[in-house]
């Protein structure tokens, strides 16, 4: 009897050891994938201020919403994204700007605010397309393909956000490059918080892409029609 108990205890310890080793290996692999994705995976696909002419021309720029204040003033992050998108349009690197943001409340309309700012910068109305259901990165990328027929695009957002956005588009079958909208320095606690937030957000993206595949708000297709002549310039 004691021998049987001993063998059972040994088996339990072996299984515990296997579980612990497996957990450590999974953690190491997960950490490696996270660091690779955030730091190196998309290095050749991300362009920044000054790289406009070396960036491949794309038919559409997908611009992610980032909030505005109750008085209507755009957040600094959103204004950066819009300034970057307007620059790409002016230099002929894109033909259409897809503004995607949250309009889940009657009194809050990110895409409309984004359009208002772009119009004030001289972008013509017919170059702007609005997506009112881009409540998060996954929704924006999913709807870009499913609703607006986008297959090739440049994603306009801050550098810290681009790896997750590119991962999302890649997982959904969209061919994309990234354009870092950074125009102002981010330092101290804000930069740390932005970067730390990307770690759980990236794993949420992996879960969405490979496990649950949620469908965002959809509707009738509204394909973006882009005329030929990319890269000819608009101003």
- Residue 186 is predicted with a pLDDT of 65
∠ CA 157-160-165, nearest 5°, is: 55
What's the whole-number mean pLDDT along residues 200-217?
Answer: 94
DSSP assignment, residue 106?
Answer: T
Q: Which residues of 184-198 are buried (b: 16+ CB within 10 A; e: fewer)?
A: eebeeeeeeeeeeeb
- pLDDT at 3 (0 to 100): 60
* Closest to 81 (Cα-Cα) out of 69, 65, 94, 68: 65
Q: Is the pLDDT of residue 94 over 80?
A: yes
Q: Rounded to whole angstroms, what are the CA distances from 180 to 26, 87, 184?
A: 32, 12, 11
Question: Average pLDDT, stretch 160-168?
Answer: 95
Average pLDDT, the chain: 86
The pLDDT of residue 235 is 37
Amino acid 192: pLDDT: 77
Provide the 3-class DSSP secondary structure of residue 152: strand
**CA atoms of 81 and 147, how far apart (whole Å):** 22
Q: State what percent of residues in the chain have pLDDT above 90.
A: 66
Lowest-pLDDT choice from 31-35, 80-84, 122-126, 180-184 = 31-35
Query: Residue 30 phi/psi, 5° resolution?
Result: -65, -40
Q: What are phi and psi of 55, to 5 degrees?
A: -75, 135
Strands (E), the chain: 46-47, 60-64, 96-100, 128-131, 152-157, 175-180
* N residues, the chain: 235
pLDDT of residue 218: 93
Q: At 234, is the pLDDT very low, low, confident or very high (cuts 50, 70, 90)?
A: very low
Query: CA 168, CA 214: separation in Å to the nearest integer?
Result: 13
pTM (whole model) above 0.75: yes
pLDDT digits (tens, 9 = 90+) for 49-60: 889 889 999 999
Its sign, for the CA torsion 133, 138, 140, 143, is negative
Residue 183 is predicted with a pLDDT of 82
Q: Tell me the pairing of strands 175-180 and 152-157.
A: parallel
């Amino acid at each position: 009897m004691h021998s049987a108990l001993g063998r059972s205890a040994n088996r339990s310890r072996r299984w515990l050891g296997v579980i612990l080793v497996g957990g450590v290996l999974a953690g190491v692999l997960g950490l490696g994938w996270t660091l690779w994705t955030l730091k190196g995976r998309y290095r050749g696909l991300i362009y920044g201020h000054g790289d406009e002419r070396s960036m491949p021309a794309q038919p559409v720029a997908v611009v992610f919403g980032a909030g505005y204040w109750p008085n209507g003033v755009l957040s600094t992050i959103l204004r950066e994204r819009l300034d970057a998108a307007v620059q790409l349009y002016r230099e002929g690197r894109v033909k259409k700007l897809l503004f995607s943001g949250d309009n889940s409340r009657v009194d809050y309309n990110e895409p409309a605010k984004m359009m208002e700012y772009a119009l004030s910068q001289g972008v013509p109305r017919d170059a702007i397309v609005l997506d009112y259901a881009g409540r998060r990165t996954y929704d924006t990328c999913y709807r870009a393909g499913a609703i607006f027929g986008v297959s090739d695009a440049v994603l306009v957002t801050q550098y810290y956000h681009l790896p997750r956005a590119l991962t999302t588009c890649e997982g959904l079958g969209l061919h994309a490059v990234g354009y870092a909208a950074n125009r102002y320095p981010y330092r101290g606690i804000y930069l740390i918080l932005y970067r730390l937030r990307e770690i759980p957000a990236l794993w949420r993206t992996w879960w969405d892409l490979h496990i649950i595949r949620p469908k965002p708000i959809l509707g009738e297709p509204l394909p973006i029609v882009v005329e030929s002549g990319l890269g000819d310039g608009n101003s």
